[in-house]
């Protein structure tokens, strides 16, 4: 048939398919680009038609305006049509959800605008791979970012509700353990605010970090079903799904070019489906994105089994697949080595890279340009499989040569190290990887082989060096050292505070520094977002600072805070400043009363340690210090007691469910709290409270209320710490060791404004050696405290034996006996300083004023410039 007498396709028949395509153009981020000069005339017509349809779509696009009438309509609309509720059966939770859906609509506008912009300019993008994103609540943050808090507050009031009640209905998104996950959340906030083209990639755990319950002083864990009935903040992407394989075997195949390639086959395949959460930037027109992968069952239902009456078997596959992203592993700074965890890591990394490559391919660039368009940041070693997986995709699937692929991978990937603690460094047994990911094991062996050949060439005959840098540890069984693989596959490795980065170079990877040179290893000191941790969490201080500085410019240019220094001596300003602190203490006091039925006085010094419970963080030393204080108070005369500064010592934090010593520390804290509580002699002078279920939304209430917070890790163990930054930003003084970011905080706020004490990191190895081989000297004060515990002052002493043993027989690895005396002396200095109200107020102001450097905006700009080579989106 010639083209002339071929029947023409009736136009109306082609319309639906065009319309469908246009749907994608309007609402999807990915638009297939066309080069105009190559389009034949039939395509021209087609394009004109597309253009017309696009106009139709645009004309019908609902662009909700941020005015009160529209907001109220939108909330009522969502109550009726999204939730199916009615004026007569709404409660606070329902109105929270309707409000959240309404805010989400506004965010989606910004989201779409950013995607359109990204598509037009196709800039280099960064993908931040983090197993954890500890986001906390979204509504309040989004309202501030949109500059719509007042409007929405007024709107819900018109509809008969109080905004504060609604905010409190939101369940924290607890997809993380502690500092590492919260850092990722702060970085997404800063990237969105600075309009850097950054996407986060993580896992959509059905259960986040467990809910902590305290019963009889012991920690109990309860599951955290954070998704509830619906999650108004996420957007399911049914069209974005990828297959992820496990197990199976490696086959050799001949491709179209007649080359033989390896191919991974068989095993089992599960589906990854994307869910997007918009990440609002502070007063921007656009929005960032967090893409979380959910594990979809491949074969939902086996009808054959069902028809054979095997009901349970029919669901088997379904359950298997669902289990993958069911739960976040609750270990902080500790690796468990469980197969399911490795499966999670691979599932997430594989789906993310397939997605990244699909997006890259849309622009028809050459593979050579991949590192010019894509930066991949590994947040710790959890996503290290990205290195062999990208190699597999480039070599086996895309058909590139090994050397070209390796050049691409190692120019694309960069790695952030988060710890030097040996128990936290990920190692996976070779047989496990072999079984689960047979092709990746081959690739890892090859990466190691080529790397060691290079080292051998550079340092001929240095077998010791080869052993030290080998990615494979020659143990029984062999292990893959994930941190080494990450170093070899990355162009840049960074630590998270100056001291930590130094330890990364000298303790962790000295052999790699020898091979690559020191320049590959850099420092980027962590930061926290001032939006959540100051502007939102501390309205009193926000308003005072804004009034003092004349505008809100400091919120995204935190260095502006340094102008507060000129007011630090101003008596009037000091008074206003401390009045805000007082209000924040009252807020926490009320919280303790209403939620725990505990009464404290805001006159007392609020002394706070909130963070994951860990031996290296030394909550144990804190509670031993409290026991010492209690002993002293009891031994004083009434007159002496009256001179003392009253203290409320607050603890909060979760222990990993399998970490017995950490759980015992929680029990000891609660036992001490109980005994002190029942002793009338110290009633107004000392109070100990363990606040259960520490999480982001609680941190927002606790942190602004601190006079003093404790960051007392054994020197060299806390990589950075970030809660130290949150506290100081809020005008809280800190007592701390010369560790992590404490050191840089001192440098920025002045050493007279921070209480540092204790052993220095470079003394720790020698001290541990001495203690191990020559026994330890237990300070007299410490001995008396331990005697009290052993004598049963805090209840049945037998349960605390493991804790006593740590110090007495266990070589005291975290050097509590070494630092205890200096700790007590420094606490004494704190008491004396607190008595001088003006001096304390000045220090508090100087704390906030010096914290500009610790904004995550500064951190993210450093990553963008020094590692990712990306620029803010132009508008």
Ligand X SMILES: *Cc1c(COP(=O)(O)O)cnc(C)c1O
Q: Quick check: is 215 catalytic?
A: no
Q: Where are the beta strands (DSSP E) in 698-754?
A: 708-711, 733-737
CA dihedral defined by 359, 363, 364, 366, rounded to 10 degrees? -80
Region near ligand X per CB under 6 A, out of 23-31, 394-402, 718-726, 773-781? 718-726
Binding footprint of ligand X, residue count (CB under 6 A): 11
Q: Are the C-beta atoms of 611 and 572 separated by less than 8 Å?
A: no
Q: What are the counts of helices (DSSP H) followed by strands (DSSP E) for the chain?
A: 36, 24
28 is catalytic: no
Q: Name beta bridge partners: 265.
A: 249
Q: Is-catalytic flag, 361?
A: no
User: Which is closer to ligand X, CB of 691 or CB of 786?
Assistant: 691
- Closest approach, Cβ 442 to ligand X, in A, equals 39
Q: Which candidate, 856, 865, 875, places its Cα nearest to that of 190? A: 856
Site mask for ligand X (CB under 6 A), range 593-622, x = bound:
------------------x-----------
CA–CA separation, 138 vs 119, rounded Å? 27
> How many CB atoms sit inside 10 A of residue 540's CB?
17
Catalytic residue, candidates 78, 343, 440, 726: 726
Binder of ligand X out of 350, 723, 753, 817 (CB under 6 A): 723
Q: Name the minimum Å distance from CB 185 to ligand X.
A: 9
Distance CA 279, CA 190 (A): 10
Judged by CB under 6 A, the stretch of 92-100, 196-204, 716-724, 812-820 that binds ligand X is 716-724
Helix or strand (DSSP H, E) at 374:
strand 374-379
Give CA–CA dist 842/386, Å, rounded. 49
Q: Which of 277, 487, 524, 699 binds ligand X (CB under 6 A)?
A: 699
- Give least dist CB 620 to ligand X, A: 15
Q: How far is the CB of 639 from ligand X (least distance, A)?
A: 38
DSSP letter assigned to residue 527 = -
Q: By three-state DSSP, how is residue 472 classified? A: strand
Nearest approach, Cβ of 354 to ligand X (angstroms)?
A: 32
Name the residue nearer to ligand X (CB basis): 136 or 489: 136
User: Near ligand X by CB under 6 A, which window of 37-45, 380-388, 695-703, 865-873?
Assistant: 695-703
Rounded CA-CA distance 70/563 in Å is: 40
Which of 382, 612, 711, 842 is the catalytic position? 612
The correct pick among 721, 731, 732, 736 for binding ligand X (CB under 6 A) is 721
Rg (CA), the chain: 29
Q: How far is the CB of 772 from ligand X (least distance, A)?
A: 28
Residue closer to ligand X by CB (options 182, 842) is: 182
- Applying CB under 6 A, which part among 151-159, 550-558, 720-728, 843-851 lies near ligand X? 720-728
Q: How is residue 478 written in tokens?
A: 């062999």
Nearer to ligand X by Cβ, of 531 and 695: the residue is: 695
Longest dimension (CA), the chain: 112
Q: What does the alpha-carbon distance between residue 376 and residue 353 come to, in Å, rounded to a whole number?
A: 9
Structure-token pair, residue 864: 């963008």
Binding mask 178-217 for ligand X (x = CB under 6 A): xx--x-----------------------------------
CA 759 to centroid of chain Cα atoms: 29
Which helix or strand (DSSP H or E) is residue 830 part of? helix 816-835
User: Residue 346's closest CA among 245, 251, 431?
Assistant: 245
Contact (Cβ atoms closer than 8 angstroms) between residue 479 and residue 399: no
Residue 732 binds ligand X, judged by CB under 6 A:
no
Q: Min. distance of Cβ 684 from ligand X in angstroms?
A: 29
Q: State yes or no: is 611 an active-site residue.
A: yes
Q: Which CB, 412 or 713, lies closer to ligand X?
A: 713
696 forms part of the interface with ligand X (CB under 6 A): yes
Q: What contacts 24+ positions apart, CB below 8 Å, involve 794-797?
A: 794/627, 794/668, 794/671, 794/672, 794/674, 794/675, 795/671, 795/674, 795/675
Q: Is 581 in the site for ligand X (CB under 6 A)?
A: no
Structure tokens at 29: 């981020």
Among 194, 439, 695, 746, binds ligand X (CB under 6 A): 695
Q: Least distance in Å: CB of 533 to ligand X? A: 8
Which of the following is catalytic: 97, 204, 418, 654? 418
Query: Where does this chain touch ligand X (CB under 6 A) — which range of 338-346, 627-635, 722-730, 845-853?
Result: 722-730
Catalytic residues: 418, 611-612, 617, 722, 726
* Site residues, ligand X (CB under 6 A): 178-179, 182, 611, 695-696, 699, 721-723, 726
């Amino acid at each position: 048939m010639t083209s002339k007498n071929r029947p023409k396709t009736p136009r109306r028949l082609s319309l639906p398919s065009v319309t469908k395509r246009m749907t994608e153009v309007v609402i999807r981020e990915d638009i297939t680009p066309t080069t105009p000069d190559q389009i034949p005339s039939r395509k021209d017509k087609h394009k004109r038609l597309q253009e017309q349809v696009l106009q139709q779509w645009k004309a019908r696009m609902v662009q909700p305006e941020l005015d009160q009438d529209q907001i109220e309509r939108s909330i009522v609309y969502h109550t009726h049509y999204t939730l199916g509720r009615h004026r007569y059966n709404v409660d606070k939770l329902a109105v929270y959800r309707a409000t959240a859906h309404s805010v989400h609509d506004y965010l989606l506008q910004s989201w779409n605008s950013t995607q359109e912009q990204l598509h037009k300019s196709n800039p280099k993008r960064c993908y931040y791979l983090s197993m954890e994103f500890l986001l906390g609540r979204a509504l309040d943050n989004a309202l501030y970012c949109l500059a719509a808090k007042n409007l929405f507050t007024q709107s819900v009031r018109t509809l008969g509700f109080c905004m504060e009640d609604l905010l409190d209905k939101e369940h924290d998104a607890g997809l993380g353990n502690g500092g590492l996950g919260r850092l990722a959340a702060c970085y997404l906030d800063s990237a969105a605010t600075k309009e850097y083209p950054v996407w986060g990639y993580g896992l959509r755990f059905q259960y986040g970090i467990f809910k902590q319950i305290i019963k009889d002083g012991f920690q109990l864990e309860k599951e955290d079903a954070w998704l509830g009935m619906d999650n108004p903040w996420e957007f399911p992407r049914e069209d974005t799904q990828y297959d992820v394989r496990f197990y199976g075997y490696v086959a050799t195949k001949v491709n179209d070019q007649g080359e033989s390639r390896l191919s991974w086959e068989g095993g089992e395949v599960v589906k990854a489906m994307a869910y997007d959460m918009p990440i609002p930037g502070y007063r921007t027109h656009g929005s960032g994105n967090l893409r979380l992968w959910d594990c979809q069952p491949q074969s939902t239902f086996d009808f054959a089994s069902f028809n054979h009456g095997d009901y349970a078997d029919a669901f088997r596959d379904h359950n298997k697949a669902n289990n993958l992203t069911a739960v976040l592993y609750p270990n902080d700074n500790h690796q468990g080595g469980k197969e399911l965890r490795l499966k999670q890591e691979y599932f997430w990394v594989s789906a993310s890279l397939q997605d990244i490559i699909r997006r890259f391919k849309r622009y028809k660039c050459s593979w050579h340009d991949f590192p010019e368009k894509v930066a991949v940041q590994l947040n710790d070693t959890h996503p290290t499989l990205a290195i062999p997986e990208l190699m597999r995709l480039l070599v086996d699937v895309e058909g590139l040569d090994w050397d070209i692929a390796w050049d691409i991978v190692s120019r694309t990937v960069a790695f952030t190290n988060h710890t030097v603690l040996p128990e936290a460094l990920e190692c996976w047994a070779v047989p496990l990887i072999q079984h689960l990911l047979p092709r990746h094991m081959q690739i890892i062996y090859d990466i190691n082989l080529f790397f060691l050949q290079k080292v051998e060439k550079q340092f001929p005959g240095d077998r010791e060096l080869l052993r030290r840098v080998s990615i494979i540890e020659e143990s029984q069984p062999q292990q893959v050292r994930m941190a080494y693989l990450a170093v070899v596959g990355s162009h840049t490795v960074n630590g998270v505070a100056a001291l930590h980065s130094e330890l990364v170079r000298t303790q962790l990877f000295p052999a790699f520094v020898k091979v690559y040179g020191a320049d590959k290893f850099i420092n980027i000191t962590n930061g926290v977002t001032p939006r959540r941790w100051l502007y939102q969490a501390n309205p009193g201080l926000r308003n005072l600072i804004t009034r003092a500085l004349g505008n809100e410019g400091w919120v995204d240019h935190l260095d502006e805070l340094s102008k507060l220094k000129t007011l630090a001596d101003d008596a009037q300003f000091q008074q206003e400043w401390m009045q805000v602190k007082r209000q924040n203490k009252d807020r926490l006091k009320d919280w303790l009363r209403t939620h725990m039925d505990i009464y404290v006085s805001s006159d007392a010094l609020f002394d706070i340690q909130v963070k994951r419970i860990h031996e290296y963080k030394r909550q144990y030393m804190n509670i031993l210090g409290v026991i010492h204080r209690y002993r002293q108070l009891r031994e004083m005369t009434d007159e002496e007691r009256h001179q003392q500064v009253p203290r409320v010592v607050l603890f909060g934090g979760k222990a990993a469910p399998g970490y017995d010593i950490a759980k015992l520390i929680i029990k000891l804290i609660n036992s001490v709290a109980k005994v002190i509580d029942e002793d009338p002699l110290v009633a107004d002078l000392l109070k100990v409270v363990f606040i259960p279920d520490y999480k982001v939304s609680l941190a927002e209430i606790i942190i602004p209320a601190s006079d003093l917070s404790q960051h007392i890790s054994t020197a060299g163990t806390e990589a950075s710490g970030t809660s130290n930054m949150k506290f100081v930003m809020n005008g809280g003084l800190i007592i701390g060791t010369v560790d992590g970011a404490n050191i840089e905080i001192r440098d920025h706020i002045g050493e007279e404004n921070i209480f540092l004490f204790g052993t220095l990191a470079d003394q720790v190895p020698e001290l541990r050696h001495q203690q191990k081989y020559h026994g330890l000297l237990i300070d007299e004060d410490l001995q008396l405290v331990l005697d009290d515990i052993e004598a049963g002052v805090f209840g049945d002493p037998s349960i605390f034996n493991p804790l006593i043993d740590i110090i007495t027989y266990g070589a005291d690895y975290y050097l509590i006996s070494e630092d205890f005396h200096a700790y007590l002396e420094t606490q004494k200095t704190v008491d004396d300083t607190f008595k001088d109200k003006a001096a304390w107020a000045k220090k508090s102001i100087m704390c906030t004023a010096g914290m500009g450097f610790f904004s995550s905006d500064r951190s993210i700009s450093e990553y963008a410039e020094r590692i990712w080579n990306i620029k803010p989106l132009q508008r």
